[in-house]
Structure 1
Amino acid sequence: MASDPWQGHNFAALFSILVAGAATTLGLTVYLCSRFTRPARQRYTPLAAWRDVSLATTAVALAVYLWGCLHVLFLEDQEQGEECERQRPEGPTLVGRRGDFIPLRLVCEASDGRDYSVIIPDYINPAVAVLLLLALACALTSALLHYKQRTTTWKKG
């Protein structure tokens, strides 16, 4: 129920993210490993290198995110509540709990209006953000090299 103050992460969504994310990470890993074959290495260009670095950092970001999801998956509601209670600041009582997927966190809500995050390791969200920014920079570099290659080829032809 949407008005339940004690809801965590939706299990169906969490499970779907884990399955789809694992399949995507596996697919990216297999593709990137195929780039190490002799024929692929012989055709390697700077454009392909930047593209592959972008895909590799995306795969690592996804793996880190999935690692954070696993922390939530293996804790029952009662254990999540206990963790909220263990980390509750002195004074206020616990009034609710919610799960967010972006950023990935399990938020405990205190009666004084303050929220605090538990269970998900502190490094997960910053690592995902930095890796995705790096992936974007590499993808943009690859796109720029592709654009330059196409315009140079077009002017010659």
Structure 2
Amino acid sequence: MTDFLVLAAILLAALAALPVLAVRELVALARGRRRGGRADRLRTVALLSGLGALAVYAWGALHLLGAVLTAEDGGTDSSPLIPCREGGIERALQVVDYDVGYLPLGFTCVRSTGDDYTVALPGYVNPAFAVLGLAAVASGILARAAAERADGRAPTADRTR
């Protein structure tokens, strides 16, 4: 039940943040606050990359939420765990539990033999989240340095105390 609540909270936060941030950027572009300088372009890339990372993470969390709901369903035809059947029925018959990972996202079927396998998540989610997240951080750092250079100040990393 805890996994369900955590995944539901992640999805609600993403659903609230994505439109707010996207509208904020569109309003800023429409009002002309983005003058087209290097720092502004990098800020836009950082925001869009961050929005993409958040959207991909929310998509993966939605897949996990479905897998958790299916695994916790119980009742007829609930054993072996339905999400774990993706790995083959022979493997699924030895499943004794499951584990949900949040960073990286994953639904892991725990077998009695000690070896585990991951299912229920598209293979592109974690790599796309990592690439978009790194792009957002890198372009955010570059945008700050470009803005400081444009203001005639030395970038923060170069300053001495």
| Aligned alpha-carbon RMSD (Å) | 2.4
Residue 50 (1) aligns with residue 51 (2): no
- Whole-Å separation in 2 of the counterparts to 1:17 and 1:146: 33
Q: Secondary structure at the match of 1:35?
A: helix
Counterpart of 2:70 (choices 73, 76, 84) is 76
Residue 150 (1) aligns with residue 142 (2): no
Q: How many Å apart are 1:111 and its aligned residue?
A: 2.1
Letter in 1 for 2:53: A
Counterpart of 1:65 (choices 57, 60, 74) is 57
Counting matched residue pairs gives 145
Higher normalized contact order (CA 8 Å, seq sep 6+, divided by chain length): 1
- Whole-Å separation in 2 of the counterparts to 1:69 and 1:39: 35
Q: Deviations over 1:50-104 (max 9, x none)?
A: 0111011000110011011111223422479212134148467112101111111
Q: Which residue of 1 aligns with 2:7?
A: 14
Maintained 8 Å contact 1:58/1:132: yes
Name structure 2 gaps, 5 residues minimum: 155-161
Letter in 2 for 1:148: R
- Whole-Å separation in 2 of the counterparts to 1:31 and 1:58: 13
Maintained 8 Å contact 1:61/1:128: yes
- Whole-Å separation in 2 of the counterparts to 1:128 and 1:68: 9
Q: Secondary structure at the match of 1:39?
A: coil
Maintained 8 Å contact 1:28/1:56: no
Q: Deviations over 1:107-126 (max 9, x none)?
A: 00122221111111111000
- Whole-Å separation in 2 of the counterparts to 1:32 and 1:15: 26
Q: Deviations over 1:121-155 (max 9, x none)?
A: 111000000111111111111011122233449xx
**Identical aligned residues as a percent:** 32
Q: Give the TM-score taking structure 2 as reference length.
A: 0.78
Maintained 8 Å contact 2:97/2:110: yes
Spell out structure 1 runs of 4+ moving beyond 6 A. Answer: none
Q: Secondary structure at the match of 1:40?
A: coil
Letter in 2 for 1:47: A
Name structure 1 gaps, 5 residues minimum: 1-6
